């Protein structure tokens, strides 16, 4: 028996990935797709400028795109994946939760709210139970669960492995982020071809705060953020998909590069349909991971790391994840699978 799901903001970069990933998913069946007023009333094929290198799944192509409000989504839909711009998500997602839908969202609104679980299922699955606190406080029958920003998802799994081994004290990170991270209309070709842009609005702050919430501990009532200091510098580069990051991690206890590599390699994955067999792929070659070569490891759900070495600023490593798969749509689907496994659907 599959769970009926909807996608709000279904026509954009992340929405298309959600459509692609959900078509073969054994647990979920897409029953509703929504987008802006400009797209509402059109068939999905007509509304979405499909830019993925597999065809639009037949069962969605002729589906009518609905306006993005709870009344346009059938009642038997239990789970709604949200890939709306955050300004729209902020207004619309609570209305869906109030109407009884469980929302698994990519948008950055509410990620730092005290009663909203921010989850990477392999890293902090226990934080999902913050839903009980949320329902008590907000009186919702539904629930709101967030996955982190794509650049944060890339570095947190290797950092979690190091934290378990030697306790993180300070993290510095410089990113090289793909253009798909800004959505289809995010960066113009005239800006990015033959160029690199050393600033991505609000991205640094997201990395600095979301990573501390994800690595924090949940005591049944609240999440206590990790006290690690995180400093981020974010850069846009002309790759299509895959965020590469250079990370320096200073730890309380000593940890050798080989012990850190072993901890990353051994960090467990989960037995959910979208979890990769290997959560973190560790490369010995100093020039890996690379976006074009390594972003589709584990069907785009594996995070890769390499170049692990000691430096005066602590342990240094490079890491990479596919930003619209592991960093967005795949992360939401995985949270949906965790919600199902934990009895929230």
Q: Which residues contact ligand NAP by CB under 6 A?
A: 9-15, 35-36, 38-39, 68, 83-86, 88, 106-108, 149-150, 180-181, 183-184, 323-324, 327-328
Cα-based angle 295, 300, 301 (whole degrees, multiple of 5): 120
Asked about 319 being catalytic, the answer comes back as no
- Compare residues 13 and 128 and give the one whose CB is closer to ligand NAP: 13
> To the nearest 5 percent, what fractions of the chain are helix, strand and coil?
35, 25, 40
Alpha-carbon gap, residue 313 to 274, rounded angstroms? 36
Alpha-carbon gap, residue 145 to 19, rounded angstroms? 19
**Which SS3 state, helix, strand or coil, does residue 327 take?**
helix
Asked about 150 being catalytic, the answer comes back as yes
- Compare residues 57 and 85 and give the one whose CB is closer to ligand NAP: 85
One of 150, 226, 319, 322 is an active-site residue; which one?
150
By beta carbon distance, the residue nearest ligand NAP is 12
Ramachandran quadrant class, 265 (left: phi over 0; alpha: psi -120 to 50; beta: rest): alpha
One of 127, 226, 243, 322 is an active-site residue; which one?
243
Write out the two tokens for 197.
Answer: 């842009």
Nearest to 157 by CA among 242, 224, 215: 215
- Compare residues 72 and 342 and give the one whose CB is closer to ligand NAP: 72
| Under 8 Å between Cβ of 305 and 282 | yes
Helix/strand/coil (H, E, C) string of 27-72? CEEEEEEEECCCCCCCEHHHHCCCCCCCCCCHHHHCCEEEECCHHH
CB of 35 to ligand NAP, least distance (A): 3
CB of 277 to ligand NAP, least distance (A): 23
Write out the two tokens for 144.
Answer: 């709101």
Q: What number of CA atoms fall less than 13 Å from residue 139's CA on the CB side?
A: 0
- Compare residues 83 and 251 and give the one whose CB is closer to ligand NAP: 83
Alpha-carbon gap, residue 165 to 260, rounded angstroms? 7
Which residues, including other chains, have CB under 8 Å from residue 81's CB and lie 6 or more apart? 5, 6, 7, 8, 18, 22, 103, 104, 105, 106, 329, 332, 333, 336
Nearest to 301 by CA among 242, 244, 225: 242
CB of 108 to ligand NAP, least distance (A): 5
Q: What are phi and psi of 321, to 5 degrees?
A: -145, 155
- Compare residues 209 and 251 and give the one whose CB is closer to ligand NAP: 209
- Compare residues 10 and 131 and give the one whose CB is closer to ligand NAP: 10
Write out the two tokens for 92.
Answer: 């619309």
- Compare residues 11 and 275 and give the one whose CB is closer to ligand NAP: 11
CB of 128 to ligand NAP, least distance (A): 19
Residues carrying an active site annotation: 150, 243
């Amino acid at each position: 028996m599959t769970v009926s799901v909807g996608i709000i903001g279904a026509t954009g970069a992340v929405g298309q990935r959600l459509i692609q990933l959900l078509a073969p998913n054994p647990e979920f069946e897409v029953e509703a797709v929504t987008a802006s007023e400009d797209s509402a009333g059109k068939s999905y094929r007509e509304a979405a400028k499909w830019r993925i290198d597999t065809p639009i799944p037949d069962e969605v192509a002729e589906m009518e795109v609905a306006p993005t409000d709870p009344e346009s989504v059938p009642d038997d839909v239990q789970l709604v994946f949200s890939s709306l711009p955050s300004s729209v998500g902020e207004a619309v997602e609570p209305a869906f939760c109030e109407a009884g839908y469980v929302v698994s969202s990519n948008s950055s609104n509410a990620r730092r709210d005290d009663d909203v679980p921010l989850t990477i299922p392999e890293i902090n699955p226990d934080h999902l139970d913050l839903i009980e606190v949320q329902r008590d406080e907000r009186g919702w029958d539904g629930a709101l669960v967030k996955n982190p920003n794509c650049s944060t998802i890339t570095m947190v799994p290797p950092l979690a492995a190091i934290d378990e081994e030697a306790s993180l004290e300070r993290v510095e990170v410089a990113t090289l982020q793909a253009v798909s991270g800004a959505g289809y209309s995010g960066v113009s070709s005239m800006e990015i071809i033959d160029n690199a842009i050393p600033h991505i609005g609000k991205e640094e702050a997201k990395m600095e705060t979301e990573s501390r919430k994800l690595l924090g501990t949940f005591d049944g009532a609240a999440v206590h953020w990790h006290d690690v200091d995180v400093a981020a510098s974010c850069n846009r580069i002309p790759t299509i998909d895959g965020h590469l990051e250079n990370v320096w991690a200073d730890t309380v206890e000593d940890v050798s590069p080989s012990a850190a590599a072993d901890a990353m390699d051994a960090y467990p994955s989960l037995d959910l349909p979208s979890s990769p067999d290997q959560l973190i792929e560790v490369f010995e070659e100093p020039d890996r991971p690379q976006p074009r070569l390594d972003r589709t490891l584990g069907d785009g759900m594996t995070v890769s790391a390499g170049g692990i070495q000691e430096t005066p600023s602590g342990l240094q490593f490079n890491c990479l994840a596919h930003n619209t798969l592991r960093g967005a749509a795949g992360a939401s689907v995985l949270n949906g699978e965790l919600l199902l496994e934990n009895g929230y659907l």
